[in-house]
């Protein structure tokens, strides 16, 4: 019997959803369930053949991720009924949800927010909507990502998600702080590939991440 320890590779294929309808308005969608604009067929035709066969698929509860997955399948990606993962939703922006950045800049609480954008929580006293910091997003994404990396060890995982959750995933792979992760640009319908390597004698914590592709469009 060989004493060689075989590494286990688990491959994450993160795809940001297509632009939301009316994205040119500059409104902050957050966890608003707004539809995706699927008119850029060239983007789906480019991305679909790059995605693996036989992968586990994940989307978030927001329709724009499911619609993007449907467009990728229509363009030739291998179809699999996706699991819905609330942990990979976009950041919740409380009262600011649906507002433009210009409107937000006029609000008195925005100055304190931008002083610590990674850890500050937007207000939610008016609407009662869920509000969380980007650091909160990083924590929930990291926790669920680790769980699923164990559950699907050795497989491909295609996850159609959001800019915030993909930044958090890259931050986890590279050991970035939330502040550093906010500097990452994540384009719509862009592919980010993160591979995790471990072996039978190592726990997840002993494994290693590798960034294979970032923001490929």
pLDDT digits (tens, 9 = 90+) for 129-166: 999 999 999 999 999 999 999 999 999 999 999 999 99
Confidence of residue 213 (pLDDT cuts 50, 70, 90): very high
Average pLDDT over residues 210-214: 95
Please say if the pLDDT value at position 188 is more than 60: yes
Mark 25-59 as b/e (b = at least 16 C-beta within 10 Å).
Answer: eebbbbbbebebbbeeeebbeebbeebeeebbbbb
Task: Work out whether strand 56-59 and strand 191-199 pair parallel, antiparallel, or are unpaired.
Answer: unpaired
Please say if the pLDDT value at position 13 is more than 90: yes
Distance separating alpha carbons of residues 132 and 97, to the nearest angstrom? 12
Q: Is residue 124 part of a domain?
A: no
Q: How far is CA 85 from CA 3, 16, 57, 65, 203, in A?
A: 38, 14, 10, 11, 24
Q: Is residue 110 part of a domain?
A: no
Confidence of residue 23 (pLDDT cuts 50, 70, 90): confident
Edge-first strand order for the sheet with 156-161 is 83-84, 56-59, 156-161, 7-16, 191-199, 208-216
Is residue 161 within 8 Å of residue 88, measured between CB atoms? yes
> What percent of the chain is modeled with pLDDT above 70?
94
Average pLDDT over residues 91-107: 95
pLDDT at 1: 41
pLDDT at 2: 47
Q: Is residue 104 part of a domain?
A: no
Average pLDDT over residues 110-124: 95
Which is it for the CA torsion 43, 44, 48, 51, positive or negative?
A: positive
Domain range holding 138? 10-92+131-216
Q: Is residue 103 part of a domain?
A: no
pLDDT at 9: 93
pLDDT at 22: 85
Average pLDDT over residues 57-67: 98
Please say if the pLDDT value at position 120 is more than 50: yes
Please say if the pLDDT value at position 198 is more than 90: no
Is residue 168 within 8 Å of residue 176, measured between CB atoms? no
Q: Which of 10, 63, 15 is nearest to 159 (CA)?
A: 15
**CB-based contacts of 45, cutoff 8 Å, min separation 6:** 75, 76
Q: How big, in percent rounded to 5, are the helix, strand and coil portions of the chain?
A: 35, 20, 40
Average pLDDT over residues 166-185: 97
Q: Is residue 71 part of a domain?
A: yes
Q: Is residue 111 part of a domain?
A: no
Q: How many CB atoms lie within 10 A of CB 211?
A: 12
Residue 201: CATH number of its domain: 3.40.50.1240
pLDDT at 216: 96
Helices and strands (H, E) in the chain, number of each type: 7, 6
Count of domains observed in the chain:
1
Please say if the pLDDT value at position 11 is more than 70: yes
Q: Which of 110, 101, 112 is nearest to 30 (CA)?
A: 101
Q: Which of 5, 6, 7, 10 is nearest to 147 (CA)?
A: 10
**CB-based contacts of 121, cutoff 8 Å, min separation 6:** 94, 131, 132, 133, 136
Q: Is residue 160 part of a domain?
A: yes
pLDDT at 61: 98
């Amino acid at each position: 019997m060989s004493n060689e320890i075989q590494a286990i590779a688990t491959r994450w294929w993160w795809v940001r959803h297509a632009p939301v309808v009316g994205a040119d308005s500059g409104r902050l969608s957050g966890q608003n369930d707004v539809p995706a604009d699927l008119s850029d067929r060239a983007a789906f035709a480019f991305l679909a053949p790059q995605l693996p066969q036989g992968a586990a698929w994940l989307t978030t509860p927001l329709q724009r991720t499911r619609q993007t997955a449907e467009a990728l399948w229509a363009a030739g990606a291998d179809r699999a009924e996706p699991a819905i993962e609330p942990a990979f939703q976009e950041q919740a922006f409380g009262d600011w949800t649906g507002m433009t950045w210009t409107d937000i800049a006029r609000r008195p609480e925005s100055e304190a927010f931008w002083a610590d954008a990674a850890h500050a929580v937007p207000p939610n006293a008016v609407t009662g909507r869920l509000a969380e910091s980007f650091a909160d997003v990083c924590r929930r994404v990291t926790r669920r990502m680790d769980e699923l990396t164990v559950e699907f060890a050795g497989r491909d995982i295609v996850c159609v998600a959001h800019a915030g959750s993909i930044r958090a995933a890259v931050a986890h792979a590279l050991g970035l702080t939330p502040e550093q992760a906010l500097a990452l640009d994540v384009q719509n319908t862009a592919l980010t590939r993160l591979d995790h390597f471990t072996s039978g004698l190592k726990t997840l914590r002993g494994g290693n991440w590798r960034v294979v592709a970032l923001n490929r469009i």
